Structure 1
Amino acid sequence: MSAISQNVSREASSLMPADDTILSMVVSGRRRDGDALVVTLRPVDDRPLPPWEPGAHIDVLITPEITRQYSLCGHPADSATWQIAVKHQPPPRGRGGSDHVHANWEVGTRVEVREPRNNFPVRDADDYLFIAGGIGITALKPMIDSVEAAGKKWSLAYCGRSLSTMALRDELAEYGDRVRFFPSDEQSRVDLGELLDTPVEGRLVYFCGPESLLEAVQERSAAWPPGTLQFERFTPQTHTLDEDAVSFEIELAESGLSLTVPPHKTILEVLEENGVTLLSSCRAGVCGTCETTVLEGIPDHRDSVLTDEERASNETMMVCVSRCIGRRLVLDI
């Protein structure tokens, strides 16, 4: 994330240990929208759903082997249903999750999900610039609806391969000229220099999309004050175990158990091998589910969730990808 802050003020709820509550849902609606399948889910017992705020995602247990995270893209005030949009990425480019959803989810299909988590909350500002790339629009759409309802100034630049592939386009078009579409097949390219070269006082920039867009936005935003850029990755940063990686020790404060993490394994894998159950989901440092409090030691942060400030504090870490600077960590487990 270089010097750019990701989410400077994550909500307190996102810092709490993940809730392993599994909700039984059923597909109550499905429609094609661009290259995504927009799915409406309702609880099988019709009880009111837990509340959520824009930026939240849910873990979807697609199969016993496949769990994926999808942004909630409906309306937070709707306590009867949740809505997600799943872009179809068949193998080998995809990892099988979206392929299964598109091929098998029909109205009436039973689905299990975990309660919402929010690593990407909307902070208060006078003005907002939203930049979306492809399916990244799903995280931003509820944010746009919320700041519009609050009477705030905002605009959206939405990039995609073509108008026909851009999900939620018709709903966004209702906002008129505050939304600009940039379909690449029409040689329409967003001018990031126009949007970002000059910082705007009181403005927050929210962006979500493929890694190439995130890197380009960060590069053009070097002059913006720290904390004004807010983004979320939906694919993990690429991390490989270093050839010169060394073993280190972890101590579990609650039990006093000490374990060795070898160079070729993650903390999470070592915990699981030793019968320590810790809730996890993506196993790639993206979802924040395995966030763990650090009592002693300095983590080698390799996640895509924590902000620069949170990393510097070393108060928590994502044990599915992050390691240790030094020889020992004491974890609040």
Structure 2
Amino acid sequence: MPALDFVLPAHLEKGEPPGHRDEVRLLVGSRSDQQIIDTTFPHLPDFLRSGDVLVINTSATLPAALDATIERGEQVVVHFSSRLPDGNWTVEVRRPQGLGTEPLPDFGGGRLSLEGGGAITTIARHPVASRLFVVTVDLAGDVLDYLDRFGRPIRYGYAAAAWPLDAYQTVYARHPGSAEMPSAGRPFTAELIANLIASGIAVLPVVLHAGVASLEEGEHPAEEYYSVPAATAAAANALRIGGERVIAVGTTVVRALETVADETGFLSADDGYTDLVIGDGSNLRAIDGLLTGWHEPRASHLELVEAVAGRELMESMYRRAVDLGYAWHEFGDSCLLLR
């Protein structure tokens, strides 16, 4: 079934962070009874129960956007997406537009000179995400150090200001590697996490370094690095065997957990690269719910959301979110889906 299509009004594209992280709205949907509840993010614990497991992604956001010049002399912006196992990178080349960027469809590849004196050279287009290029990197030092010195956060045209990198981090970000923030976790505060733990809800970490989120309509995410620690796998397995629920905080967590789950949902500790694609027909084995943001029309992430919620609930949730004026994008509002 095609990914969900709908009209996203421009005024719902939120371009600035809330005054406080948790000052966002939360729409809760239950697949079992199709009930939908409009609330706010600080009330998240009201919809969880003692023994539940929240799995978070502790990947930290990189300053992954760099100014560059292509061979014909045009100024562009390079978005570093993911480091590959062979040391090469995937990148997206875009045209500057205000505070953000826009696609550069006529770029065919070549050598790009980077701000700071480095360079990258394209090898080929990515076989799955055609807007991305696989590149070799010619730098004096490590790519992450170079980005720390010369890069800035990836921003798009809806950005209301040049927000600093801290605005694009979760409070629990620990492991640099994501091109864009795993934004489902942005509304969490240290106080809310402490309240969840005090209520008997386990909070367990995984890592999945998210690539760029600007893929073409219908494109699925490229391969991404993940790590599921032994302690996380063991605790989640023990609690789920006891009948407790595993709630993924973000689609990145779903991808990591489903990568290491067997047919029964048992998790194994592992790390590496995953090319798993989760669609509306996928049999999810490792999770019982998803906390996420709101995805754009026809985005491939909506196929994963449908796998969790089912088509009927997903359509109802998105229709209600638009009607109620929920906000989209990384600084927007939240959605909790329970199976």
Q: TM-score, normalised by structure 2?
A: 0.30
Q: Which has the higher contact order (CA 8 A, sep 6+)?
A: 2
Q: TM-score, normalised by structure 1?
A: 0.30
